[in-house]
Amino acid sequence: MRSTKIMIVEDNTTVAEDCRLYLENRSYQVTSIVASGEESIEKAAEERPDAVLMDIHLRDEMDGIEAAEQIYARFQIPVVFLSAYDDRKLLERAKRVGCFGYLLKPFEENEIHAMLEMVLYKAQAERALRKSEEKFRHLFERSPHGFALVKGNGEILHSNSAYANMLGHSQEDMSKLNWIELTPEKWRPQEFAVQGRQLMENGHTDLYEKEFIRKDGQILPVEVQAFLLERGDNLETSQVGAFVHDITERRKAENSQRKSQQHFQELAESICDTFIALDEFLMVTYWNRAAEELTGISTKEAVGESLYELFPEAAGTAAEKVYHQVLRTRRPMTFETEYHMGETDRFYEVSVNPFDGGLSILARNISSQHQMLESLQNSEARLEAIMAAAPVAMIVLDSEWRVRQANLAATQLARRPLEGMIGLREGKAIRCLHSLDDPKGCGFGPFCETCPVRLIVLNTLETRQPNLNVEVTLPFRIHGKKQDMTLLISATPLNGLEENLVLFCARDITAQK
């Protein structure tokens, strides 16, 4: 293990020699002893020590504080100041330039050793924090999905380019706008209720729909999931992070669904989530296979029966109130519920949508996501927390297309746990059937030469340019059967990192298609 390198900046030869002896007795490596501020900057650039012992009162024009300021600003090397005077003004000035430590002469060997260990630990922690923040910034600045950091009063503190582009504004303009003012008035009461109730009580909201007003005056429908980053005294003084996804195409699909009963049924059977349709009297008109598996009630037994006959305990529940409210207002709503299956409790996200003559209920199993959201409160890694909360599949791939990291939505898309994805090539990780065409796996089969997913990822790795919102259709193995799935994919380079990584995002749009 290499010795810790220390540079001494001291114009008193006796003091400098004492420092050198103290340091070498403690197995530190003294890179050099210099007597001026200018020379200390040159040596810091050349030797890159781990820390600097800096006398404040140097005899040349540049004193120790000015030299330390330049060394830390240019090289992020921590500095410990040495002084024979307990001067409060000097100490305050030293603090302003990023002083890591302060020792009064004369000092003992154990004092200088303890101070250096503390300073080196603090510097290491700050470097780790900077690296984490840089990784976070690159990931979400380059993400093709909207992200905003806002105060509870609506002030937009930060937004990535994807969110700004959705609304037709520049990122600079976004910092002058207000989240609430960008929301049409008819949506504001609902958003205040969701954020006031869920955000402050739970630390996060469910996925909810709303609209924004674009710069050109057009209305943009979106899906939002918000989470509390910094809790203030109330909502207005808190900081909130929000994922924003443009659902214009989904709205079009929903309109088309209402016009075609046949398409409605095909869509319902094509999804893996529980899907139920009720008429205006809450009589069951449709019951898909996932509903049979969840409840143990067959389609033949369910269709034509009242919801209350099938589930007597539903009377008077919050879910029943939602169904009646959707029927009355003709507006979709989403809520979470807990379902008991034997000794196991499962959590579901239930989306209730109106259609002519009744309403549809889509229940998505979010048990693992619910557990993840609870663990977010104790997580110190903001990057992992935000990725895990994203409602779209997000996978970090290396230069060999192998999975380095994936969020919950990605594991749900791939139908395999995270530990089963890490290290696999992309195609095999998400169960593309073409990954079985060759014993070597993904990337070596005859189809792989023209695979659009592979070509997009390779292009992004080579050009460091994003490829956004590309539709691809691939065969997958789902529940042991072949099934074609249409994905909306994006590949974005994670620039500024030590290795060549790509953020691959995918959203299943099979149902919409």
Say if residue 184 is in the same domain as residue 231: yes
Q: Each residue of 304-333: pLDDT tens digit?
A: 999 899 988 888 888 899 999 999 999 999
> What pLDDT sits at residue 88?
72
Say if residue 204 is in the same domain as residue 220: yes
Q: How far apart are CA 205 and CA 275, in angstroms?
A: 23
Least confident of 39-48, 112-121, 382-391: 382-391
DSSP class of residue 197 equals I
In a domain, 102, yes or no: yes
pLDDT at 85 over 80: no
Say if residue 15 is in the same domain as residue 132: yes
Residue ranges making up the domain that contains 329: 258-369
Q: How far is CA 139 from CA 144, 202, 504, 505, in A?
A: 10, 26, 11, 12
Which of 138, 153, 175 corresponds to the end of one domain? Answer: 138
In a domain, 299, yes or no: yes
* Better-scored residue on pLDDT, 163 or 130: 163
pTM of the model: 0.35
Contact between 358 and 367 under an 8 Å Cβ cutoff? The reply is no
Under the banding of pLDDT at 50, 70 and 90, the label for residue 282 is very high
Say if residue 351 is in the same domain as residue 465: no
Q: Which amino acid is at 251?
A: R
Say if residue 126 is in the same domain as residue 11: yes
Report the pLDDT averaged over residues 48-71.
87
Q: Give the burial string for 53-67 (b: 16+ CB within 10 Å, else e).
A: bbbbbbeeebbbbbb
Say if residue 110 is in the same domain as residue 149: no
In a domain, 378, yes or no: no
Q: Each residue of 367-388: pLDDT tens digit?
A: 776 665 555 444 445 656 667 6
In a domain, 377, yes or no: no
Q: How far apart are CA 236 and CA 348, in angstroms?
A: 30
Say if residue 149 is in the same domain as residue 270: no
pLDDT at 358 over 80: yes
Which of 200, 222, 246 corresponds to the end of one domain? Answer: 246
CA max distance for the chain: 97
DSSP class of residue 114 equals H
Cα-Cα-Cα-Cα dihedral of 401, 402, 406, 409, to 10°? Answer: 60
pLDDT at 268 over 60: no
Which of 88, 106, 138 corresponds to the end of one domain? Answer: 138
Q: Each residue of 188-237: pLDDT tens digit?
A: 888 888 877 788 888 888 889 999 999 999 999 999 988 888 888 887 88
DSSP 422-469: TTSBHHHHTTBGGGGSSTT-TT-STGGGG-HHHHHHHHHHHH---EEE
In a domain, 125, yes or no: yes
Structurally, the chain folds into a number of domains equal to 4
> What pLDDT sits at residue 416?
87
